[in-house]
Structures are given as structure tokens and as C-alpha cells.
Amino acid sequence: MNDSPDKLSNWGRWGADDVQGTLNLMTPELIRHAAGLVKSGKAYSLSVPLENEGPQWPMRQKLWRVTQFRNDVKGGGGSGDVVIMHSHSGTHIDALSHFWYHGKMYNGFDGAEHVTSDGATRNSMDNVPFIIGRGVLLDIAGWKGVEHLELGEPITADDLDQCAAAQNIRVQSGDIILLRTGWMRVFAQDRALFDSGEPGIDESTLPWLKDNDIVAIGADNHAVEVLESIPPTALPIHRYAIRDLGIYLMENFNLEELAADKAYESLVVIAPLSLTAGAGSPNNPIAIT
């Protein structure tokens, strides 16, 4: 993949000062159309439990939680939690400040200037109040007739098109792609295998994401993209989707119930924490059919 932003880029598309990337595609008209998909009223949580032993990039500090409580002599009481965690814990979304290369973040902002230990002054999580739109489940594992894809198995742009056609779904501008590899099943069966790599999209999907004007893509794995090993030698989807295209990557989704119901279209609501200057946020995405 050519490193030049001129080859695969949304820089400047929404102005030189833009810090929201493909969120600009999320118009009131798009949201109204997505809301019209709701027929049964059934809602699905697409998150995994947020806990110490939940899915977590292996090199990161695990979530830590302790409950503070009090009991009085009359039997009353109260409690609250203290939580310390990486912003990319469990089911989460990457801010556009999460990844850059050649010194430049999305839309050409200087990484060294705008990201410090105090946080990000450009492309940060608080610029994403919500993502609401049409969710398109591409059940690649179901389409291939397997419980889950294999470690290091790539998903190509042609796979995405063929899966959509098999599901009788047409991908549209402004969509939120929900990519099911079945890998979250591996988490429950073999944690060591889950943490050693993953199936996911390969670099052939980058032009597909741009040409289809995808707002965000969420997957049931650590990093959305195919990894033969963890830690990987490179993260090209993060590198180009976040930095060059301004697309939001969302990870560790639970898509099992949605796939079991063959709910290929839904209204999807993603509400990250409004973390000032943050590089990412845990969230509990909701799909409604």
C-alpha cells in the first residue's frame, strides 16, 4: 500500500480543520433512514462484559476494579466502584488520534505536537458524541459455513461483496459494518489461541471501505484486521483506515445473537464515553431491529 495520503485519503474532504473523519457522513437523513429499519423493536447489546478477565490486547494492563461500600447499624448501605483501565478495554472504539505514521495524524495534524501524556488536542474521543446509522452485519463465518475463521485467515474485499450478496444486502454510503469472524467463540474456548492472532480484513479492503463510504467497522476480534501473530509486525488497517481515511475501528464486539437471528440490517447506536482528549473509549453498542 502506498504511504502517500494522495493515493488513499480523506484528508481535506471535510475541510482542513476537520477532526471527525467519516463521522461527517452521518447526516440526519441517514439516521432517519436507519431508524426506519426498526420493525420488531428487538434490541441487542453487542458488547462483551467489561471485566478483568475480558478480552484485552495481551500487552495492555488488565482492567482493575474494587468496590467501596458501607453498612450502617440499621441495615442500610451503599456502594460504588473504583475502576482503572485502558481506554481500549473490552468492547471499544478507537479515536482518530489512536494511530499515525510519518509524524502525521488524520487530516495532516502533527502527531508529536497534538498527542502528549495530557492527551490529544486533535482527533480525540470527545469529538465523537455518538455514531448512529444503519448497521450491516457481514457474517463471514456463517457465509463460509464454519464455526469461526482460522488464525491468520484474511477476509478480502471480494469476500465482503460475496457475503453481502449472499445475505441479499447492498452496502450503502454511511453504513456501519459489523464483521463476524466467529473469533469471539474462540475466546470462550481457548484464550491462548484468541490472544495469539486472529482472522480479519486484509489490505484489499481499504479501497472498499473508502469507495463505500463506511463510517465505522466493528469486529469480534482484537483489532478488526487479520493478524498472523500478536504482537504483529504491522497493523496496516489501523495505519491507513484511521490515519488516511478517518474511519472508526471498533473491536471485541459480540455479534453471536445478531448472527443467530440473521439480523443483517439494524439501527445501530454507539455512544462512547465523552473522554476529553482521549484516544479511545469502551462502549456498549446497541443494535435494534
pLDDT (tens digit per residue) in 17-39: 999 999 999 999 999 999 999 99
Position 115 in a domain? yes
Q: For 183-216, what is each residue's pLDDT tens digit?
A: 999 999 999 999 999 999 999 999 999 999 999 9
In a domain, 142, yes or no: yes
Q: What is the DSSP string of 2-14?
A: ---TTTS--TTTT
In a domain, 99, yes or no: yes
**Number of domains forming the structure of the chain:** 1
Q: 124-169 pLDDT, tens per residue?
A: 999 999 999 999 999 999 999 999 999 999 999 999 999 999 999 9
In a domain, 5, yes or no: no
The band of 4, judged by pLDDT with boundaries at 50, 70 and 90, is very low
Q: Are 96 and 109 in contact (CB under 8 A)?
A: no
Structural contact between residues 90 and 47, judged by C-beta atoms closer than 8 angstroms: yes
- Mean pLDDT, all residues of the chain: 96
For residue 193, the one-letter residue type is L
Residue 276 domain flag: yes
Q: What is the CATH number of the domain that holds 185?
A: 3.50.30.50
Structural domain including 46 reads 21-50+87-288
| 3 state DSSP class of 87 | coil
Q: Is the pTM of this model over 0.75?
A: yes
Distance CA 89, CA 51 (A): 9
Is 79 among the domain residues? no
pLDDT at 1: 53
pLDDT in tens, 235-256: 999 999 999 999 999 999 999 9
Helix (H) or strand (E) holding 64: strand 64-71
In whole angstroms, give the CA distance from residue 200 to residue 179. 8
Question: For residue 282, what are the β-bridge partners?
Answer: 92
Give the separation between CA 189 and CA 194, rounded to whole angstroms.
Answer: 9
